[in-house]
Homo-oligomer: A and B are copies of this chain.
Amino acid sequence: MKRLAAFVGLLATAMTSFAQNADSLALRRLSDDIMWNSTCYDNLRVLTKTIGHRLSGSPEADKAVAWGKAAMEAAGADRVWLQPVDVPLWVRGKETLKVQLDGRFQQIPMLSLGNTEGTGGKLLERELVCVADLAAFEQLSAEQVKDKIIFFNYKFRQDLVNTFEGYGDAVKYRWVALNKAAEKLAAGVIIRSVGTGADDAPHTGASRYYDGLPHIPAVAIGNISADRLAAACSRSKCKAQLVSNCSMKGVKRSYNVIGELKGAERPDEFIVVGGHLDSWDVGEGAHDDGAGCVQSIEVLRALKASGEKPRRSIRAVLFMNEENGVKGGYAYADSVKATGEKHIWAMESDAGGFSPRGVGLEMTATLKQKVRSWAPLLEPYGVYDFSQEEGGTDIGPLKKLGVPLAGLLPDSQRYFDLHHSANDVFETVSHRELKLGAFTLTAMVWLADQYL
């Protein structure tokens, strides 16, 4: 019996390595096709250069929905449809910030934080109070804060190698700082942008007011201006002049765009891959998250082009309103709950179109272990890190329904130079990096379809 066991063991090993070899070849075929024939880079060019940025509820977002539907059809989806989503409409309007540098007022680049209310077009001129961080702010007396504009000069932690850790650390200055200041009756807030840039680009991004607190204006300035302003404030008292017109304009009807390849064996089981179609109202939303959209569409194209039908139904979803409400993510999860559709895997690409380095796993320990056994198949593509736990914002609401979540982890060094700023444009996307990311999504979807 021992011999037989040994033989069976050998056979199992041989079969495993045979299967791994076959998988490796299947992935190589997908990769070769994507690196030569992918349409994702051209799709991104069209999205960014003919539509541009596309904040939820804007006319550009409407155009992007139509573009997404056509792109899904061109990719060979068996079925494409629009899923209604009601989204907030926030409008920036004209805005300027002048601050006293060397005594005189100088205009500096700025962006109001998303979802905030501006000055209603009126001039708000107030004395500035500069603090290094929230702890320093807490030391200020009520009088020191009241009716002032507080400048939170917190620096993004450049020393953290994974910039998403730095973002996690700094982003409270976008969410919390304005409310802390409003609590103490400040007149407004300026923050150093939540970004790593070596330039002066301001970065916007979602904020929100806590219930019952005044809706004070809150704006972001770039790193260079922040350095200059902090230096000026340390020399003498400075004032700021802010004029802004941003405000919430109610709710608009919009859509998630969904494309599907019907499964050959289990058409009623679903694998989802997605990115978000909306962007902030500056730049072109190229990395955030045009990249994730065109990569998700590419998954359908590449699987269709392979000539082999997937076992399960594969859906690419372009979610609407990730940036300032996540209404699309909730709408999709609500529909899954309502219909009871069985989802075995959901994956998101929303960390930029950079060279893929890993896949984050937000799922049971057992399943993680299984997925990590696929890692050697991805290593030849530079995708080696399966240690992180990241799904994504839009697929997040599926977690409650027990769906395993995965997130593409591209190299993070450049993301927060561009994120939510005017610099997030097509020219900063590498066609090869974008395609390798699309391949990684395709490979993970293919493996999930084969082995889950």
Contacts and interface: CB of A to CB of B under 8 A. Distances in A.
A249 to B, nearest CB: 37
A416 to B, nearest CB: 9
Given A161-B436, A198-B41, A411 B431 contact: no
A414 B436 contact: no
Given A159-B35, A411-B355, A417 B436 contact: no
A381 interface: yes
Nearest to A380: B161
Contacts of A31: 159, 161
A337 to B, nearest CB: 38
A357 B431 CA distance: 19
A163 interface: yes
B432 A382 contact: no
Most buried by B among A158, A163, A384: A158
A381 to B, nearest CB: 6
Nearest to A357: B382
Interface string A181-209: 00000000000000010100000000000
A430 interface: yes
Contacts of A41: 198
A451 interface: no
Interface in A143-167: 158-159, 161, 163
A161 B357 CA distance: 13
Number of this chain's copies in the complex: 2
A381 B433 contact: no
Contacts of A364: none
A159 B32 contact: yes
A252 to B, nearest CB: 36
Given A41-B198, A355-B355, A382-B357, A158 B413 contact: no
A193 to B, nearest CB: 15
A401 B433 CA distance: 39
A357 B436 CA distance: 16
A159 to B, nearest CB: 4
Contacts of A430: 413-414, 417
A272 B41 CA distance: 41
Nearest to A45: B198
Interface in A401-436: 411, 413-414, 417, 430-433, 436
A384 B381 contact: no
Contacts of A432: 158, 163, 196, 413-414, 417
B381 A161 contact: yes
A414 B427 CA distance: 12
A288 to B, nearest CB: 16
Nearest to A430: B414
Contacts of A35: 158-159, 161
Contacts of A32: 159
Contacts of A196: 432
Nearest to A163: B432
A393 to B, nearest CB: 24
Contacts of A414: 430, 432-433
Contact of A382 (B36, B198, B411, B436): B411
Given A384-B384, A413-B430, A431-B198, A36 B355 contact: no
Query: Which 3 A/B pairs are nearest by Cβ-Cβ distance?
Result: A198-B431, A413-B432, A32-B159
Given A161-B381, A198-B431, A413-B436, 8 more contacts: A31-B161, A161-B380, A161-B382, A355-B411, A382-B411, A384-B384, A413-B430, A417-B430
25 contacts: A31-B159, A32-B159, A35-B159, A35-B161, A36-B158, A36-B159, A41-B198, A161-B380, A161-B381, A161-B382, A161-B436, A163-B432, A198-B431, A355-B411, A355-B413, A357-B382, A384-B384, A413-B432, A413-B433, A413-B436, A414-B430, A414-B432, A417-B430, A417-B431, A417-B432
